[in-house]
């Protein structure tokens, strides 16, 4: 009897050790998977050109008459990155979309980040402050209209950690900080139509032509309601749809590919609860 008990005890120690991440590990995991920061902030191009340039500035978003902004260098480089920002400056930007110069920024989905657990927000900021400084100056933003942060009613305050024992709530939390619905909800006059959450229909021009975000509600005919879990997982992590066709950007498939299976399962469990929209 004795050895068995010891083995079971040991197994549970190993089991919990596998989940004990340091804040930097947690920050790295969130930034490099579900939150896809690099999908916007890292340069795109042939790998030899961009190797070692992670987070040093990336995509340009040019909406004529509205703004022309480039995702800045967020490495700790003091001249061209955010090396002179305080921890509080970065946290404020993450939660309000307002940088130290007081001019609200565009594009970055900060309206979804209010739901972050304080521990996760701290981990993300600590990780970003720990990456290698890279010198790379990106063009300054141009705003033709005043920018205001999107209000996402379900993301205005940190989630209650007690809710995260529930699989669907965990999926909801991850999908919120992953801003899935910022791309997958239609916009009218630039504003998200939240009553049609998940119905898709936004256009994304890019090197791939124009992709249109799809309906990812639980609708069996228009959404992913009739897809298996494995099919949804393949779409998210490999960019291949139910019929085997390749999906285009800007969705960050390669980032989601590094999510844990458990986290992917939770996101899918939540997607299944998103009310069907035709
Ligand atoms: C959808 C694209 C996108 C994603 C995802 C994104 N950002 Fe950004 N971010 C931007 C853009 C674009 C700007 C600048 C907008 C402007 O100048 O108006 C910006 C600005 C910033 C700034 C301010 C830097 C400066 O010099 O003003 C920081 C810090 C930042 N992002 C960090 C992050 C972190 C950390 C993540 C992931 C948790 C993230 N961003 C995710 C697009 C994105
Ligand atoms: C930056 C915008 C963006 C973000 C963020 C995003 N998606 Fe997508 N997604 C798209 C676009 C655009 C397509 C369609 C691409 C195409 O047609 O080639 C797509 C396709 C899909 C598909 C395939 C659906 C079908 O009918 O083929 C699924 C499933 C999906 N996304 C789920 C998600 C989930 C879950 C998240 C969050 C973890 C997410 N997406 C985040 C833009 C985005």
Q: What is the pLDDT of residue 47?
A: 57
**DSSP classification of residue 33:** T
Q: What is the pLDDT of residue 49?
A: 61
| Residue range 208-222, pLDDT digits in tens | 999 999 999 999 999
| Residue range 69-120, pLDDT digits in tens | 999 999 999 999 999 999 999 999 999 999 999 999 999 999 999 999 999 9
From 36, 95, 108, mutation site for ligand 1 pocket: most ligand atoms within 8 A of C-beta: 108
| Cβ–Cβ < 8 Å for 233, 239 | no
Q: 97 CA distance to ligand 1 centroid (A)?
A: 9
Q: What is the pLDDT of residue 34?
A: 98
Q: What is the DSSP string of 166-203?
A: SHHHHHHHHHHHTTHHHHHS-EETTEE-GGGTT----E
Q: Verify whether ligand 2 is closer than 6 Å to residue 235 (CB atom).
A: yes
Strand, helix or coil for residue 226: coil
Q: Closest-lying ligand to the alpha carbon of 121?
A: 1
Using alpha carbons only, give the angle 60, 251, 127 rounded to the nearest 5 degrees: 75
Q: 37 CA distance to ligand 1 centroid (A)?
A: 7
pLDDT above 90: residue 29: yes
pLDDT above 60: residue 18: no
| Cβ–Cβ < 8 Å for 165, 86 | no
**DSSP classification of residue 246:** B
Q: 180 CA distance to ligand 2 centroid (A)?
A: 7
Q: What is the mean pLDDT of the chain?
A: 92
Q: What is the pLDDT of residue 20?
A: 72
Q: What is the pLDDT of residue 189?
A: 87
Report residue 207's pLDDT band, with 50, 70 and 90 as the boundaries.
confident
Mean pLDDT of the region 35-51 = 81
Report residue 190's pLDDT band, with 50, 70 and 90 as the boundaries.
confident
Higher pLDDT, 73 or 205: 73
From 24, 60, 74, 78, mutation site for ligand 1 pocket: most ligand atoms within 8 A of C-beta: 74
Give the integer Cα–Cα distance in Å for 141 and 2: 67
Give the integer Cα–Cα distance in Å for 129 and 76: 6
Q: 64 CA distance to ligand 2 centroid (A)?
A: 25
Q: Verify whether ligand 1 is closer than 6 Å to residue 180 (CB atom).
A: no
Higher pLDDT, 234 or 15: 234
Q: Verify whether ligand 2 is closer than 6 Å to residue 174 (CB atom).
A: no
Burial of 40 (0-12, 13-18, 19+ CB in 10 A): buried
| Cβ–Cβ < 8 Å for 134, 56 | yes
Q: 31 CA distance to ligand 1 centroid (A)?
A: 12
Give the integer Cα–Cα distance in Å for 94 and 155: 13
Q: Verify whether ligand 2 is closer than 6 Å to residue 179 (CB atom).
A: yes
Q: What is the pLDDT of residue 17?
A: 47
Q: Verify whether ligand 2 is closer than 6 Å to residue 233 (CB atom).
A: no
Q: What does each C-alpha distance from 159 to 53, 92, 95, 163, 169 come to in angstroms?
A: 33, 18, 14, 7, 9
Mean pLDDT of the region 245-259 = 96
Give the integer Cα–Cα distance in Å for 202 and 41: 21
pLDDT above 50: residue 13: no
Strand, helix or coil for residue 142: strand
Q: Verify whether ligand 2 is closer than 6 Å to residue 248 (CB atom).
A: yes
Nearest CA to ligand 1 atom 37: 37
pLDDT above 80: residue 165: yes
| Domains defined along the chain, listed by start | 23-149 (no CATH), 159-278 (1.10.760.10)
Q: What percent of the chain has pLDDT over 70?
A: 91
Q: What is the pLDDT of residue 96?
A: 97
Q: What is the pLDDT of residue 145?
A: 94
Give the integer Cα–Cα distance in Å for 175 and 185: 13
Q: What is the DSSP string of 58-71?
A: --EEEETTTEEEE-
Mean pLDDT of the region 38-53 = 78
> For the chain, how far is it from start to end, CA to CA, in angstroms?
59
């Amino acid at each position: 009897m004795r050895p068995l008990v010891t083995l079971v005890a040991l197994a549970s120690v190993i089991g919990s050790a596998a989940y004990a991440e340091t804040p930097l590990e947690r920050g790295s995991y969130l930034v490099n998977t579900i939150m896809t920061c690099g999908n916007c902030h890292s340069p795109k191009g042939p790998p030899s050109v961009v190797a070692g340039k992670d987070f040093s500035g990336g995509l340009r978003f040019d909406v004529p008459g509205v703004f022309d902004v480039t995702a800045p260098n967020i490495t700790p480089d003091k001249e061209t990155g955010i090396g002179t920002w305080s921890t509080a400056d970065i946290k404020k930007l993450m939660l309000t979309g307002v940088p130290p110069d007081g001019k609200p920024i565009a594009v970055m989905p900060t309206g979804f980040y209010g739901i972050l657990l304080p521990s996760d927000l701290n981990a993300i900021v600590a990780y970003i402050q720990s990456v290698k400084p890279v010198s790379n100056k990106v063009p300054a933003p141009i705003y033709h209209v005043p920018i205001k942060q999107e209000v996402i009613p379900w993301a205005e305050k940190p989630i209650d950690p007690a809710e995260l024992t529930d699989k669907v709530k965990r999926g909801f939390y991850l999908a919120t900080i992953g801003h899935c619905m910022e791309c997958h909800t239609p916009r009218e006059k630039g504003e998200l139509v939240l009553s049609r959450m998940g119905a898709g229909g936004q256009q994304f021009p890019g090197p791939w032509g124009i992709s249109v975000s799809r309906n990812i509600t639980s609708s069996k005919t228009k959404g992913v309601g009739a897809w298996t879990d494995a099919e949804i997982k393949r779409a998210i992590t490999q960019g291949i749809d139910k019929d085997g066709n390749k999906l285009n950007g800007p969705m960050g498939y390669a980032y989601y590919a590094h999510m844990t299976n458990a986290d992917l399962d939770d996101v899918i469990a939540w997607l299944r609860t998103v009310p069907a929209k035709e």
